[in-house]
Amino acid sequence: MTRPFLKMNGLGNDFVVVEARGEAFRPTPAQARAIADRANGVGCDQLIAIEPTARADAFMRIWNADGGEVDACGNATRCVAWLLMEATGRDEAVIETEAGLLSATRAEGDKRVSVDMGPPELRWDHIPLAEEMDTRGIELQVGPIDAPHLHTPGAVNMGNPHVVFFVDEEPSDALVKGSGSLIEHHPMFPQGVNVGFAWVKAPDRIRLRVWERGAGLTKACGTGACAALVACARRGLTGRAATIEMDGGELQVEWREDDGHVIMTGPVELEFTGRL
């Protein structure tokens, strides 16, 4: 049996999107890994199923490239929201995820979407961390004890767990891959963690690279961009709104003061269609 799919991306963070509102789509972890395999499958960072729900316009189910199911993905939310808005002709959509309900609206510009990602979770047990500590700067370091090259990162949950290290220059491939893979499964994070490396270039501009849990180095990470802005703002390194520069392009992120919600705005791209 074959299933049609759409290949989409948000700033190069790419997805295989399957319509599952008429017919269920529940791949095994091995099948999800095969689809995500860039050498022998379609190739993607995440596999997405659009499922029926009574609570919203659709439910979005997400598998990482390693076959594991996860609760949230900001760039995929923009892509699915754009598809739903195109189908209905409306300028807004509500998507249910395992992390909760997310509302999206069309933004100014071609194929640009804003998503209300909700308020960040900042309590240690909501990240979650293995032990209680201040999430503005947790007790974690990489390198020699007396001279670590990474230390005291911020921790934020944006529907999935993130740790954000603050660096003072362009994060290199070696740094992101080496430290990211090391920290992803650190005992401090019982559910694993997405690892961000944020270089604050100005109070309203952050250069960010992300090692994504279950996917590795990615061109962009929507929830990671939101987590980076929140972590930097909590440390007084930026204001509550900034442009986040990632390998695949830029996102605009605002942590609203009135209700504490994080708003992420950026483009989506439809690459091609096919059949699994």
263-267-271-274 Cα dihedral, nearest 10 degrees: 30
Pairing of strands 100-106, 141-142: unpaired
Bridge partner residues of 201 (DSSP): none
Whether 221 sits among the annotated catalytic residues: the reply is yes
Q: Is 44 marked active-site?
A: no
DSSP string, 220-232: --HHHHHHHHHHH
CA torsion angle 142 144 146 150 (round to 10)? -20
Is 242 in contact with 206 (CB distance < 8 Å)? yes
Annotated active-site residue in 73, 79, 226, 232? 73
User: Rounded to whole angstroms, how far apart are CA atoms 249 and 229?
Assistant: 16
Q: Which two tokens stand for residue 265?
A: 């705005």
The residues annotated with a catalytic role in the active site are 73, 221
